[in-house]
Structure 1
Amino acid sequence: MLTVHAAPLVLPVGAAAVAQGAVAVEGDRIVALGPYDEVVAAHPTARVRTWPGVITPGLRQWHGLWLLTRCYHPDPREADALGDQPLWGEAFERLVGEMDATRRAGSVRRGLQQMLRYGTTHLAGRFHDPAVRTAVARSGMTEVSVVGAPGILVGEPSLDPFVEGYDLPGSVHGPLTVGGRADLAVFDVPDEAALCAAGAGRCVATVLGGRLVHRRR
């Protein structure tokens, strides 16, 4: 089904922002991008999803390897004992000896789910662990090898790609383009400056290969 995602501002990256913009998606591809009235007129039978804030390309998580292999993402049932944030460093090392393959795989799946809640669609890798590679592939996220991608973690690992101090072009997987894969993120902020200041925690929706995989309730 053809779907139009509309918002007060579309930030394609690499092209001018579009006020009252829209992105039309069919299958896993972007088929139109521009002012809402023009996109809807060209696709009158499309389902329309109207979002607050801004639509951007999906984000790239620079520290996916850290977050999936050197952090533990607690099960909600463990929240009383372990909290709800990724555990790393000494806390992670203490848990390693207690984790069987099933528990480790659950952590990886939860980590991927959390990334989707931050608008992440691409992970800087390489993931050599077969279980992690399989989980990433099943999630639908794209594993990318980026020359010069940060390999040393500074500070605490974060699910928010903006924490590293990158601007929007440095945080997205690439620009939104007609014919390109429909990997989008929606943030409840008024503009690009507010997004960089507030961070990806303001994500309200993530579209991965044309599928709505996260929607904040």
Structure 2
Amino acid sequence: MLTIHAADELRHTWDDPAPVKDGAVVVEGARVAATGSLADLQERFPGARVRRWPGVLGPALVHEGPLPGAPTPRERVHAVLKLGAVAVLEEYAGTAELRAAAERNDVVVLASAVRRPAVLQTGRADLAVFDETGACVATVCAGRLVHRRR
């Protein structure tokens, strides 16, 4: 099923010099099928489900510090997703339990922080939406909506 994630603004990278107002990303499975204005994408993909979010839509983040504390590895990984991140550094996912929890949730474990998050056509659909205060509104990891603020 195709899903269009739309927001007030789309940034392909967080320092994107030309953000798209009323921008959107079409997600098909775990991949980005298209990006552009919501109006254009709704016309191109008329049967797609639309999820409209308040704020700025862009690439999900890399969590570069220790995973937040929580009673279980699964909850620690979910806490990262709630921050808008879908990747963690290997040095902070040092236990087999944390790595397994990350893998089960499609969270990428990186050897170093060299990855520059970007929304790319045919790339993995890792997205995050942040409101005007910087709080994460929604996180999409490998095409799945894994967090939304209520």
TM-score after normalising by structure 1: 0.63
Residue 98 (structure 2) aligns with: 132
What whole-Å deviation, never above 9, does each CA across 1:114-162 have from its counterpart, x for those lacking one?
111110111111444222221111121011122xx4xxxxxxxxxxxxx
Question: Does 1:118 find its partner at 2:61?
Answer: no
What whole-Å deviation, never above 9, does each CA across 1:155-179 have from its counterpart, x for those lacking one?
xxxxxxxxxxxxxxx9x85110100
Q: Percent identity?
A: 41
SS in 2 for 1:133: helix
Question: Given the alignment, which residue of 19, 22, 25 partners 2:21?
Answer: 19
Higher-helix-fraction structure: 1
Give, in whole Å, the separation in 2 of the partners of 1:173 and 1:124: 13
What whole-Å deviation, never above 9, does each CA across 1:159-203 have from its counterpart, x for those lacking one?
xxxxxxxxxxx9x851101000000001122xxxxxxxx44xx11
Residue 183 (structure 1) aligns with: 126
Higher-strand-fraction structure: 2
SS in 1 for 2:67: helix
What stretches of structure 1 move > 6 A for 4+ residues in a row?
none
SS in 2 for 1:52: strand
Pairs within 5 Å for 1:145-160 = 145-146=111-112, 149=113
Residue 213 (structure 1) aligns with: 146
Give, in whole Å, the separation in 2 of the partners of 1:32 and 1:144: 26
Question: What is the identity, as a one-letter code, of the residue corresponding to 1:182?
Answer: A
Pairs within 5 Å for 1:23-102 = 23-63=25-65, 66-67=66-67, 72-74=69-71
Give, in whole Å, the separation in 1 of the partners of 2:129 and 2:24: 12
| Larger Rg computed on CA atoms | 1
What whole-Å deviation, never above 9, does each CA across 1:69-92 have from its counterpart, x for those lacking one?
xxx425xxxxxxxxxxxxxxxxxx
Point out where structure 1 has 5 or more consecutive residues left out of the alignment: 75-105, 150-169, 190-197
User: Does the C-alpha gap of structure 1 residues 29 and 49 become closer, same or farther in structure 2, counting only changes over 3 Å?
Assistant: same
Cα deviation, residue 67, structure 1: 2.4
Alignment: residue pair count: 147
Give, in whole Å, the separation in 1 of the partners of 2:40 and 2:77: 35
Residue 141 (structure 1) aligns with: 107
User: Alpha carbon RMSD of aligned pairs, Å?
Assistant: 1.9
